[in-house]
A and B are shown apart, each in its own frame.
Chain A
Amino acid sequence: KQEVTQIPAALSVPEGENLVLNCSFTDSAIYNLQWFRQDPGKGLTSLLLIQSSQREQTSGRLNASLDKSSGRSTLYIAASQPGDSATYLCAVRPSGTASKLTFGTGTRLQVTL
């Protein structure tokens, strides 16, 4: 059974700092991995999708990497801003015919002034 872990559970950084969020998964047979952000009381917003054949994806100040063989993904946020404060979730989709994502429990990020 696939298990997805995100450490740390919470993180506080000063504005302007570069930071890395970690996601690890136990079964490397994945189809893709997706990073989301969730603001309090809101739904999930998709940030980046990495296919299993890719090593990284970039969108603005965000860069996500994938090392499938070691079961790890990182989300790099450059020059953090208070508006980046949210919970960040990663989710993996298995290869094969299964359709469901397995989610981590998230990292709650606070960017302080």
Chain B
Amino acid sequence: NAGVTQTPKFRVLKTGQSMTLLCAQDMNHEYMYWYRQDPGMGLRLIHYSVGEGTTAKGEVPDGYNVSRLKKQNFLLGLESAAPSQTSVYFCASSYVRDEQFFGPGTRLTVL
């Protein structure tokens, strides 16, 4: 039982490049979330999903897109990366509104 996994662990992008972060969970959770964590700002919700095929905006959705084609996977895309998107990205999942479980994070640097 791996829990919540994220790939990649680290990535460096140049401004304007695109990339996709992958989150996978093996707990059969309905809800999945993408957060970013920045010093002094705490954790902020980017997008979330309440089930396969659904997505919704969180607090800071601009510049990001998401997809949930399979229940176990939640993808976060950056179409044109900007230095302001340098951050640590965390994926989480929960069975509806219960306990949230987090992945290990992806450290992204945009030059």
Given contacts A43-B90, A43-B105, A103 and B100 within 8 Å (CB-CB): no
Contact between B99 and A46, CB atoms less than 8 A apart: yes
Please report the C-alpha to C-alpha distance between residue A100 and residue B50 in the assembled complex, in whole angstroms: 10
Contact between A31 and B97, CB atoms less than 8 A apart: yes
- Confirm or deny: B101 has a beta carbon within 8 angstroms of a beta carbon on chain A: yes
Interface of B is mostly: strand
A45 — which chain B residues lie within 8 A by C-beta?
102
Which of B45, B58, B100, B103 contacts A34, CB < 8 Å? B100
Interface of A is mostly: strand
Contact between B100 and A101, CB atoms less than 8 A apart: yes
Q: A24-46: which residues lie under 8 A (CB-CB) from chain B?
A: 31-32, 34, 36, 42-46
- Confirm or deny: B33 has a beta carbon within 8 angstroms of a beta carbon on chain A: yes
Contact between B105 and A99, CB atoms less than 8 A apart: no
Contact between B42 and A106, CB atoms less than 8 A apart: yes
- Confirm or deny: A86 has a beta carbon within 8 angstroms of a beta carbon on chain B: no
A105 — which chain B residues lie within 8 A by C-beta?
40, 42
- Confirm or deny: A93 has a beta carbon within 8 angstroms of a beta carbon on chain B: yes
B59 — which chain A residues lie within 8 A by C-beta?
100
Instruction: Name 27 interchain pairs, CB-CB below 8 A, sorted by A.
Output: A31-B97, A32-B98, A34-B99, A36-B102, A42-B104, A43-B90, A43-B103, A43-B104, A44-B90, A44-B92, A44-B102, A45-B102, A46-B101, A46-B102, A49-B99, A91-B100, A93-B97, A99-B48, A99-B56, A100-B33, A100-B48, A101-B45, A101-B100, A103-B42, A103-B43, A105-B42, A106-B42
Not counting A99-B56, A100-B59, A103-B43, a sample of 8 additional A-B residue pairs whose C-beta atoms are within 8 angstroms of each other reads A42-B104, A44-B90, A44-B92, A46-B101, A46-B102, A49-B99, A100-B58, A101-B100
Q: Give the interface of B toward A (CB within 8 A).
A: 4, 31, 33, 40, 42-43, 45, 48, 50, 56, 58-59, 90, 92, 97-105
Q: Give the interface of A toward B (CB within 8 A).
A: 31-32, 34, 36, 42-46, 49, 89, 91, 93, 99-101, 103-106
